[in-house]
Amino acid sequence: MAGPDNIIIGSHVWVEDPGLAWIDGEVIRINGNEIHVNTAHGKTVVTNISKAFPKDTEAPPGGVDDMTKLSYLHEPGVLQNLATRYELNEIYTYTGNILIAVNPFQRLPHLYDTHMMEQYKGATFGELSPHVFAVGDAAYRAMINEGKSNSILVSGESGAGKTETTKMLMRYLAFLGGRSGVEGRTVEQQVLESNPVLEAFGNAKTVRNNNSSRFGKFVEIQFDKNGRISGAAIRTYLLERSRVCQISDPERNYHCFYLLCAAPPEDIERYRLGSPKTFHYLNQSSCYELDGVDDAHEYLATRRAMDIVGINDEEQESIFRVVAAILHLGNINFAKGKEIDSSVVKDEKSRFHLNMTAELLRCDAQSLEDALIKRVMVTPEEIITRSLDPENAVASRDALAKTVYSRLFDWLVDKINVSIGQDPNSKSIIGVLDIYGFESFKCNSFEQFCINFTNEKLQQHFNQHVFKMEQEEYTKEEINWSYIEFVDNQDVLDLIEKKPGGIIALLDEACMFPKSTHETFAQKLYQTFKNNKRFIKPKLSRTDFTISHYAGEVTYQANQFLDKNKDYVVAEHQALLTASECSFVRSLFPPLPEESSKSSKFSSIGSRFKLQLQSLMETLSATEPHYIRCVKPNNVLKPAIFENFNVIQQLRCGGVLEAIRISCAGYPTRRTFYDFLNRFGLLAPDVLEGNYDDKVACQLVLDKKGLKGYQVGKTKIFLRAGQMAELDARRAEVLGNAARTIQRQIRTYIARKEFISLRGAAISLQSYLRGNMARKIYDELRREGGALNIQKNLRRHIDRKSYLTMRKSAILLQTGLRSMTARNEFRFRKQTKAAITIQAHWRCYQAYSYYKSLQKAVLVSQCGWRCRVARRELKKLKMAARETGALKAAKDKLEKRVEELTWRLQLEKRLRADHEEAKAQEIAKLQDALHEMQSEVEEAKSMVIKEREAARKAIEEAPPVVKETPVIVQDTEKINSLTSEVEKLKALLLAEKQTAKEAKQAHATEQAKNVDLTKKLDDAGKKVDQLQDSVQRLEEKLSNLESENQVLRQQALSMSPTGRALAARPKTTIFQRTPENGNVVNEEIKKALPNPQLTETEEKPQKSLNEKQQENQELLIKCISQDLGFSGGKPVAACLIYKCLLHWRSFEVERTSIFDRIIQTIGASIEVADNNDLLSYWLSNSSTLLLLLQRTLKASGAASLTPQRRRSTSASLFGRMSQGLRGSPQTAGFSFLNGRLLGGLDDLRQVEAKYPALLFKQQLTAFLEKIYGMIRDKLKKEISPVLASCIQAPRTSRASLGKGRSQANAVAQQALIAHWQSIVKTLNNYLKTMRANYVPSFLICKVFTQTFSFINVQLFNSLLLRRECCSFSNGEYVKAGLAELEQWCHDATEEFAGSAWDELKHIRQAVGFLVIHQKPKKTLKEITNDLCPVLSIQQLYRISTMYWDDKYGTHSVSSDVIASMRVKMTEDSNNAVSSSFLLDDDSSIPFSMDDISKSMQQIEVAEIDPPPLIRGHSGFSFLLQHTE
């Protein structure tokens, strides 16, 4: 793939590794043809440059879904891509139109559920992720479109999952064209139910698989002309017959032998069986049991499977009798007889087995013995009987065993086909081929030779198909491919099957000669094919030979080729079994034609094998093939293990690498123009800047680089092998130069930045030094100036100091002289003043002394007199004090206590104000006691006053000495009694205070409880109101339904002759209603009752209409068939129909045709209507009319049932409370038609509807739902084609971007958003149409909510199924489109958009996850809780593994998060949680009539004007009256 010039130092390459098959690394040195590679594991490997393959460093981290998209289509690239996808649980990968399926060895139910089938149904091949359903769908579509049969070839080694893949294919085909089979079982189920039977008799343990199919199975699924499955058939090919007689260790014979040996004891006794070790056909190998398999259980399961496929007990008994006979037959041994070349049964043991075989086959034992050891030769003269030697007798025994088993297997297949049922008139089939794969063991015998011959044939067919596909691709792209060589393996096929010189022909020739041995056969091969390049003779063996197959060289051991090839029906065997008494055995061996029964014609397994293979190839050639290659990733059969060597070998054996070689012979690398320019446009920047289209730009780039031999198709560039590596090498060189330029610029920038930094530092340092020097000079100058200032100031100070000293001395001398003169003057004045003061004081003393003596004498006189008077008064006061002092003190004290008690009592009264009702009597008693005490105190006070006055008078009248009176004692007793009473009152007050305190606390507690209960009572009241309303509505609805059912039952009874008498109803009287309110007037009732004529007229039931009414109905139908429009936002047609029906009392008649005619008119309008305007018009009218009927009609008997339920409901406490809280009934405010009934709903007297009216209501409801569904589905259908473009961003040409960046970006942005704007435009059109027709906003909300849910489902499912959509740039594109939808929801307002925006939560969160940065740093908890709480683990895992960043090259979440997701997914699967990651679209009707009734406002139909067509008609005059 890569020439020496394309690998340079630094290139990333793949080199061979003994442990991993291939390992990647980087070239670190090149020495001629040798390169030194530093591997990813840190080792250095030296290898030849021709053995190194370039690695694509820009490959997506999750691999590619189609390996033809790989930049380098070689073995390590294919292996790495499969390993990467397998690690992400992406088990399917395309190689062109070939599907590679890697067995996951675990359940992946989300890949195979009905949701996934729906997604792949009708999808273009390659549009969605690779899947087995895509292959099945492609085969089915090709069969339907082209009318040609198709086949699907499922191949792979044992354990690769061929059978499971086949099951999934049949499930999908049954889903596409399934039809129930017999007894409710589908054809697919019947085919799958036959598997256990075929596996028991056709599968065996081999070296690599415990349940290997030893036959080819071609399942024909037959279809009729309509594409429906009409039948099926199972064709088996190439059963390995030799295994019956010869097996090698550690393999086993067919399962059925071991199952029969493990049968229940009664069966073993019946067939005289024992341990498998006792039978020759089983003990050639030491393996008798399989791990994890219970043969006894499997035996019973096989018997049950036989029951299912239609094999009865008698046939089962015969089948296992034949199997037991084969085991006994193998134990018959022979010894030499008395005659030459004769043989006899060896011993009694052999004789026992001979007899058992004869008994089981129901034939004669002697005849069986003769058939084994004797031959009859027919000559023209006579019939000669000859004996066989022991060796030939054993060969005869084995031939009989192989023939019987082969016939038994063919009978089982025919029986299964009869059970399934075939369609002889079927024109098209889809065949699924499940056949063994290429085998290469240490010891390869005749079985491996036949199997590998089959695979060579299939590989030739495969190669032709691949080359044909390549040719179709080249022709489609219109490129020249005439010189491409076809890789063919015809030389190997000639070596094996060519006549007369092929290996099979030589083997048959050797078998026909009695003296031939395997050595002579091998020598014949060596001589014949010594010059054949495909045939190799081993050096150390005389009997082995090697064939170079397409998958590698295989060495065969020819030791048993002759024995295993011999297969012919001996005439004696045929005659023996044809004469069997068992009808089942006779059916296995029908009589042969006369000419063929006379002698034994030679037949070989090789020739028979060749004929069957030819038949199979003819069948496949007549069909269009599709290929599925199953791969077993490891030999331990466990998940998450990918063994590179094992997979590589299977890819070789499966022909995948051969297909790659075919692709490499032509143009292995294909790139679209966009991808090519995106990757290699940098090789020619001038081309991108020019005004070229993509195709011309690609060609210019290639021509500029001098590449030859490439081809330019219509949409792709086709490169020869090695050219991609050359371009990558030149691209790496350009990128390297660019990287060096960037590095040079970065280094320049860093050096300049460092230089500028150093220069700034030097300047700063210089500035600092200069500043420091300047500061020093300044300091010196400042010090010099300072010294001069100091000297100057010092001299000035000295001079000033001397001057001041002299001045001070002069002043001091003058001061001393002046002070001496002043002191003398002061002394004289002081002496004069002192003399005057002494004189003044002496005169003052003389006057004061005289005054004091005079004053003292006066005072002495006054004091004597006053003392005398005072002593008199004192005597009087002492007398009074003795009488009143104690009483006054007690009184004062008592008053204080009374005042204190009064204050406290008032305080307690205020504190107990909240408990006045409960404590009124006690407080009254206390107040009475208090009033008594106050009166007593007042009496005591008055008595004290009286006694005081009496005492004063007595004092005045009494002599100076008065005796004590007994009054004092009496007052003291009263005081004591009052004191004791006060103490009692105080104690009583304390007790009352304590009681009041406790009562206060209890009151506070009860008050808190009361508040809580009040709140709860309010809440309960509100809930009761709601429940009361709901119950009332439900009761009314229930009563209506019961009454409707009653009416319908009565109607049904009236239809039958016997029920008409039972259905007779009491005749009702119809009274005239007043024009004011429509109520029945009592006076008129009284007047009407005596009038027999009027009563008789009104009691007649309205069963027919007169001609006038019929004319009015015709006019009404004609009127509503027109578009009457709207009046005041109300649909005129609905109001008109309602008013007319109500006036005509059509709801109350038992037979009328008006309802059917209205329904027919509406149905005719919407059936032919293709425009949204008409659908919206009738949606508005039907919803309005239905609302009016809902609020007006009630079934007969509803009025008598509802009040009882209301009374029973209101009888409870909450019922009474809710009735009290609801308020007046006028709050409902429902104004009825024409003023006929006024007031609220409670006052409304509804019309009792008959059967036709109730049926009309039901039909109208169905039409409403139908019209709603038509509008919704029409909207979905219009936006559905645009959604496919909305999930993936359209690509912009790289070449066109060079024409002008700003203009190109603007055009690109406009193109990107155009699809979303188209959706928004469609939504606006529908919203405008429905609003113009006054469709209720509730219905508009539902339409857009379900539409947005549909958008969410389609976008999200497409995102999960198409890897190219899970990219960063695509996330930005979808996010921008979702912003358009969000803006639309905002503009449409919540009234019409409702919760539509919330319906996009899945796609919003998924897109949000795509466009976030630093995904590897996010934990699983952050993703599931914060970023994407709505998405399931399966959905997050799918997005995380499919994500790729085409813009910035970032990675998805970390491997730890991926591992955590896997663990959670495993837990979910174990817990039976649904693991489907796809969403379902809800197409149900999301509302009921109650929802519409609650959401729509009251309608005043009286305000509607009649249309002109009926305005002047006399029959509709009531419309004008009500309008007026």
Q: Extract the annotated binding site for ATP.
A: 156-163
CB 92 within 8 A of CB 21: no
- Shortest CA distance to 1435 belongs to which of 1471, 1409, 1472? 1409
Backbone torsions φ then ψ of 228, nearest 5 degrees: -100, 145
- Which residue ranges are tagged as binding site? 156-163
Other Cβ atoms closer than 10 A to 185: 14
Runs of H (alpha helix) within 1287-1336? 1301-1332
Task: Please give the structure tokens belonging to residue 454.
Answer: 């089959």
Query: What's the one-letter identity of residue 1456?
Result: D
SS3 875: helix
Runs of H (alpha helix) within 59-158? 75-87, 114-120, 132-146
> Cα(203)–Cα(199) distance, rounded to whole angstroms?
5
- Shortest CA distance to 456 belongs to which of 471, 472, 435? 435
Catalytic annotation, pick one of 93, 163, 195, 1352? 163
* Contacts for 1008 with CB less than 8 Å, ≥ 6 apart: none
1182 included as an active-site residue: no
916 included as an active-site residue: no
CB 319 within 8 A of CB 360: no
Residue 870 burial (CB < 10 Å; 0-12/13-18/19+)? Answer: exposed
Task: Please give the structure tokens belonging to residue 290.
Answer: 């399989």
Backbone torsions φ then ψ of 1261, nearest 5 degrees: -60, -45
SS3 content of the chain, % helix, strand, coil (to 5): 65, 10, 25
1021 included as an active-site residue: no
Catalytic annotation, pick one of 6, 103, 129, 213? 213
CB 1483 within 8 A of CB 1265: no
Catalytic annotation, pick one of 25, 63, 77, 159? 159
Query: In what helix (H) or strand (E) does residue 1188 lie, and over which residues does it extend?
Result: helix 1172-1192
159 included as an active-site residue: yes
Catalytic annotation, pick one of 202, 437, 1215, 1377? 437
Residue 908 burial (CB < 10 Å; 0-12/13-18/19+)? Answer: middle
> Cα(1382)–Cα(1393) distance, rounded to whole angstroms?
10
Which CA distances in Å does 223 have to 135, 192, 415, 619, 739? 17, 18, 21, 17, 62
Catalytic annotation, pick one of 188, 193, 369, 439? 439
Identify the bridge partners of residue 385 per DSSP, sorted by sequence position: 376
1495 included as an active-site residue: no
SS3 1355: helix
Cα angle for residues 1282, 1287, 1289 (degrees, 5° grid): 100
> Cα(409)–Cα(234) distance, rounded to whole angstroms?
12
Catalytic annotation, pick one of 212, 230, 445, 1347? 212
* Contacts for 352 with CB less than 8 Å, ≥ 6 apart: none
Task: Please give the structure tokens belonging to residue 1267.
Answer: 């019209």
212 included as an active-site residue: yes
666 included as an active-site residue: no
CB 585 within 8 A of CB 357: no
Q: How many CA atoms lie within 13 A of 384 on its CB side?
A: 7
Catalytic annotation, pick one of 158, 195, 1329, 1333? 158
1192 included as an active-site residue: no
> Cα(133)–Cα(240) distance, rounded to whole angstroms?
31
Residue 1400 burial (CB < 10 Å; 0-12/13-18/19+)? Answer: buried
By DSSP bridging, strand 216-223 and strand 428-434 are: antiparallel
* Contacts for 1305 with CB less than 8 Å, ≥ 6 apart: none
Dihedral sign, Cα of residue 272, residue 274, residue 276, residue 282: negative
Residue 441 burial (CB < 10 Å; 0-12/13-18/19+)? Answer: middle
Residues labelled as active-site residues: 158-159, 163, 209, 212-213, 437, 439
